[in-house]
Structure 1
Amino acid sequence: MGRGDLTNAEWDRLESFLPRLGARGGRWSDHRRVINGVLYRVRTGVQWRDLPERFGPWETVYKRHRRWSADGYLADAAVEGAGRRGRRGPDRLGRLGGLHRGACSSACRRCEEGTARRSSSKGDRPADEPGRSGASETARPAGGGGQIGECLGRSRGGFTTKIHLAADGRCRPLALLLTPGHYGDGPQLRSVLEQVSVPRLGVGRPRTRPNRVLADKAYTSRENRRYLRRRGIAHTIPERLDQRRHRHDRGSRGGRPTGFDREHYKKRNTVERAINRLKGFRAVATRYEKRAYIYLGTVTLATLIIWLRT
């Protein structure tokens, strides 16, 4: 077993979510060897052609990763992994108390080498890759959504894709959302939280509502606060100075000050640490894929490994 490969215990938990070998006829390469090849590439960021020979033909590894990204197999495995592993440790998702989720985003620079076409000014192109879920904008850690473009746009960091995510108190991603790099953070809060769905071990509906949401000033809009209050979710979001000044200028019509608990806000670093974990995978920190759904599959696989190894 090479450095970074799946252990026997990790493979036992993952194998049941993958399609059976030979399900489509003919002989398939071993799933475990292929997954280890994809992991090697996600961890190191090498070109597919430079994969070591112990993983088999690089075309097999790449094509299976592309197919599973489109079909959602890795997405389903990540969702189930969150449900099975989320009850262990001090931050138990099965309880109504003690669960905090942070929301944040991070831009990942696009590697512009090669002949990949650049997107339009808004960073969107129609997707045409077939699959069970198509090119997906969202992943909870992983799942289908509507079809969008390639999630590329110009921002201060250059030609980038932005990853919006929610994480639990143990720095594990719970929901993912890809947008072009110039999209704002605040308007994506609702979309991210609606993708959170952690299955329970026993009977009952999946856990979708946290006890409290921690987010920075980018999410401090009135619309976001109304949405959180409507769902009964406590939140700790600091108010921007311009909003505070505007509320004071309006007097009694400006409404009451927003509540802010500094002690709760100290726990918001968990989502930043979750982003740091994801960017420890070089193929996540820098986007090498041309197609958005393949890059989403790469980020989803990194999320799955974080859940398996936490």
Structure 2
Amino acid sequence: GASNYTFACASWSQQSEDWLNAHAKAFAFFGGVPEIVVPDNLKSAVRKTDRYEPDINPSYQQLAAHYQTAIVPARPYKPKDKAKAEVAVQIVERWIMARLRHQTFFTLASLNQAIRFLLEDLNQRPFKKLPGSRASQFAQRDKPALKPLPSQPYQYTDIKQARVHIDYHVEYDKHYYSVGHHLVKQVVEVQASDNTIAIYHHGKRIASHPRSYRQGAHSTCVEHMPRAHKEMQEWSPERFLSWAGDIGVETREVVNAILQEKRHHEQSYRRILALLSNAKKYGRDRLNNACGRALLIHSPTRSSVESILKQGLDQVPVETPGNAEQEELNLDHHENVRGEDYFH
């Protein structure tokens, strides 16, 4: 502004997050927001330079919307478009950077603390030919023209485009977030803050997730799943055991045996569903009898139970030592058997 009131801070880089957070610090330092911000054409500000219609970085546009200000980049190779900024750079180099050049700082915070001290000295230094200082002139001339700061603090949001994978998830920072399954292969916009992931399609928010920093993991909403996946989500070992128990004790034992075969129960769910579906085809009693026979032969598997049902073995009495003994007793009293007295 007219006062040349100066702000400076150190950051790790000129990447988008550092660049935009520096804006937030500057606005807080000034205690207000100007009508127009005139930046240079670095990538964090402008995606594609153009003399008349520069393509502003979406994250930068979002910052401008938050502070209700306009971004008007300087024209390429036209330093006079931001003459005040060019002069401020020279002042900071002479009055701050030069005075710190022999010091070593081990943290960014300690460097910024030293900068703040020298910045205060710079802005309070009296002008040589004009009355007052940068600070006093700012309070009189520039501060009244600033718009108030927004009530909510600015939070950096990274904005990127992503394509929805075949599993209806999009990847951001090596974590996967779900969207509606009907958007598979569509391009969406991911807006990521420190705490939230918001996903947009054609300007409409379609999903929102708490941000996760677990790489390779998935954040999935049930409402985004296709019907078949929703049904699988509702399955559990307890539900299958209860369902099998309604058919019979033997069926429950077979289901429990199938569940114990795999390290992860989910790997057994489809086989159990196939097993229990035989109750519709053969009836509950036959299925339970077949499960009982499978347990007797120590083969409690879906394939064994279905083989028993197909061959009708569930309807054949099982041979046991007790049955064989009873058959011998019955033979002793048959009319065609003469008995031991006949031979004496």
* TM-score range normalised by the length of the shorter chain: under 0.3
The structure whose RCO (Cα within 8 Å, separation 6+) is larger is: 1
Could you tell me the TM-score, scaled by structure 1's length? 0.21
- Whichever of the two has the greater Rg, that structure is 2
Could you tell me the TM-score, scaled by structure 2's length? 0.19
**Between Structure 1 and Structure 2, which shows a larger proportion of helix residues?**
2
